[in-house]
């Protein structure tokens, strides 16, 4: 068993050499078959709405922001540049055959782990967020990125590769969950050390979903449910000792809001400010909203509205109907991604498409839950809407991978 685990989880790092070794001609690496137009249309629709709403949410804040040079167009100009780059890369990646991604999965995982370690040693400190070690600055530029964004995709790719290659063992041997669980916990541990609790939960959720998609015996999920329930009870009684001060305070404020308790003046003006302003924005939007550009909470009430709480501005300006339409678009995007995965000719392609689709859906659901105070305030962005150039590019590359899976006649049915 030990020999199989070593072979399974370490030999994969040497498969990068096979990417071109197996292909004598460059055209063997690409596919020109038609891709799923419906999925592309949904991506472009959500991206377009996201850019428009991010601009509406950001221009007032940018007007008063010294780091934005008091330029109301600062955030949208940068986001548009990254959106164009991302769309170009999305189309380019869609031409790449999925077995290229399969062969590179181990290498991508190795790079992700190295970056997660590097950010702990040499993080880029963001003003006012010195306690977080989430960002790396690209040398010679002002561009920063979070290695956890790469880690999400790397985990999906690696688990897709391994669970395809060893699908018989996965389906027949109960002990196969242990090496996969070790990898997921290892990645989650590195992300948690960045003081990135929300990223840790997101990656853990993606990992568990991938195990389910890959065919791990369902009994393990029942055991996992019991373990999680026990951990939740322990957490409720020891959260102040387990979490950083800021995280525990957010949970405490959330619990008071959840049970209808009134916040003190200090809480309302401090750690509860962002959540309260978000709820005010959603409530004032009503059924049809105040109209595009007419949000009041973005006028320096809602902190950094272009980031994690952009959906609050969406609710205020477009109302319940507009917000519901956006939620439906996300549901359709995720559903279409799953359909593409279920139709894929290989298990790797199926797992890759479903894993990425699940990531987008889970991230959107958690962000909306945070904005509506359904769950505690965490730093999870809304895909295609929240400001962040490198994360947007990464997301569009992932959409390109799903489009690649959707192409027909790539190769013979895999394992």
Mind listing the pLDDT tens digit of every residue in the chain (415 residues)? 445 545 555 545 545 555 555 555 566 678 888 899 999 999 999 999 999 999 999 999 999 888 778 889 999 999 999 999 999 999 999 999 998 999 899 999 999 999 999 998 877 776 556 567 788 888 777 778 889 999 999 999 999 999 898 877 777 777 778 888 899 999 999 998 888 888 898 999 999 999 989 888 777 667 767 776 776 666 656 555 555 556 667 777 877 887 778 888 888 888 888 888 999 999 999 999 999 999 999 998 998 899 999 999 999 999 999 999 999 999 999 999 999 999 998 999 999 999 999 999 999 999 999 999 888 887 789 999 999 888 999 999 999 999 999 986 444 444 3
- Distances in whole angstroms, Cα of residue 178 to Cα of each of 126, 133, 227, 253: 37, 29, 15, 37
Helix locations, 219-309, DSSP H: 219-242, 245-258, 265-269, 273-285
pLDDT given at position 266: 83
| CA distance linking residue 235 with residue 222, whole number of Å | 20
Q: Is 165 helix (H, G, I), strand (E, B) or coil?
A: helix
Residue that the structure tokens 């003006």 belong to: 269
Give the pLDDT confidence score for residue 37 in this predicted structure: 95
Strand partners, 137: 144
CA atoms within 13 Å, Cβ hemisphere of 260:
0
d(CA 55, CA 77): 9
pLDDT at site 14: 47
Q: What is the largest CA-CA distance in the chain?
A: 70
Per the CB < 8 A criterion, the answer to whether 395 and 86 are in contact is yes
User: For the chain, how many helices (H) and strands (E)?
Assistant: 16, 2
Q: First CA to last CA across the chain, in angstroms?
A: 21
Q: How far apart are CA 326 and CA 34, in angstroms?
A: 27
Name the pTM for this structure.
Answer: 0.88
**How far apart (Å, rounded) are the C-alpha atoms in residues 352 and 65?**
40
Q: How far is CA 22 from CA 25, 26, 92, 151, 159, in A?
A: 9, 11, 21, 27, 22
Among the listed residues 308, 318, 328, 324, the one whose alpha carbon sits nearest the alpha carbon of residue 383: 308
pLDDT at residue number 390: 87
Residues 6+ apart with CB under 8 A from 392: 79, 82, 83, 86, 384
How many angstroms separate the CA atoms of 163 and 214, rounded? 6
Structure tokens that stand for 51 in this block: 């850019």
301 within 8 A of 277, measured Cβ to Cβ:
yes
**What is the CB neighbour count within 10 angstroms for residue 57?**
32
Distances (CA, A) of 217 to 173, 394, 398: 8, 32, 28
The alpha carbon of 352 is separated from its chain's Cα centroid by a whole number of angstroms, namely 14
The upper half-sphere exposure of residue 81, i.e. CA atoms within 13 Å in the direction of its Cβ, equals 9
C-alpha dihedral over 73, 75, 80, 83, to 10 degrees? -170
Q: State residue 358's pLDDT score.
A: 97
Give the pLDDT confidence score for residue 412 in this predicted structure.
43
Instruction: Give the integer Cα–Cα distance in Å for 96 and 92.
Output: 7
Give residue 405's Cα distance to chain centre: 19
């Amino acid at each position: 068993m030990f020999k199989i685990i070593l072979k399974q989880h370490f030999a994969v790092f040497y498969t990068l050499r096979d990417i071109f070794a197996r292909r004598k001609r460059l055209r063997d690496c690409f596919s020109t078959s038609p891709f799923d137009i419906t999925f592309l249309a949904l991506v472009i629709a959500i991206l377009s709405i996201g850019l428009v709403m991010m601009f509406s949410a950001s221009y007032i804040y940018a007007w008063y922001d010294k780091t934005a040079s008091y330029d109301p167009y600062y955030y949208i100009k940068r986001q548009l540049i990254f959106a164009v780059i991302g769309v170009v890369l999305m189309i380019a990646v869609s031409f790449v055959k999925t077995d290229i991604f399969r062969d590179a999965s181990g290498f991508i995982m190795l790079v992700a782990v190295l970056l997660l370690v590097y950010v702990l040693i040499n993080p880029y400190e963001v003003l006012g967020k010195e306690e977080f070690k989430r960002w790396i600055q690209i040398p010679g530029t002002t561009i920063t990125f979070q290695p956890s964004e790469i880690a999400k995709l790397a985990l999906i790719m690696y688990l897709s590769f391994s669970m395809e290659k060893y699908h018989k063992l996965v389906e027949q041997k109960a002990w196969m969950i242990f090496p996969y669980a070790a990898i997921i916990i290892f990645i989650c541990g590195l992300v948690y050390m960045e003081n990135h609790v929300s990223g840790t939960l997101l990656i853990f959720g993606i990992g568990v979903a991938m195990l389910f998609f890959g065919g791990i015996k369902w009994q393990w999920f029942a055991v996992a449910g019991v373990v999680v329930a026990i951990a939740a009870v322990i957490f409720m009684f020891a959260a102040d000792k387990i979490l950083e001060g800021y995280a525990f305070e957010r949970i405490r404020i959330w619990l008071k809001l959840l049970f209808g308790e009134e916040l003190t003046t200090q809480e309302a003006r401090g750690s509860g400010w962002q959540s309260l302003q978000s709820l005010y924005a959603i409530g004032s939007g009503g059924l049809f909203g105040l109209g595009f550009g007419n949000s009041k909470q973005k006028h320096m009430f809602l902190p950094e509205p272009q980031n994690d709480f952009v959906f609050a501005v969406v609710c205020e300006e477009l109302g319940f109907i507009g917000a519901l339409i956006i939620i439906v678009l996300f549901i359709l995007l995720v559903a279409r991604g799953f359909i593409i995965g279920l139709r894929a000719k290989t298990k790797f392609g199926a797992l890759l498409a479903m894993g990425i689709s699940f990531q987008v859906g889970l991230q959107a659901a958690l962000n909306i839950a945070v904005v509506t105070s359904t769950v505690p305030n965490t730093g999870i962005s809304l895909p295609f809407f929240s400001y962040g150039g490198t994360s947007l590019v990464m997301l569009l590359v992932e959409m390109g991978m799903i489009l690649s899976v959707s192409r027909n006649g790539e190769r013979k049915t895999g394992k």
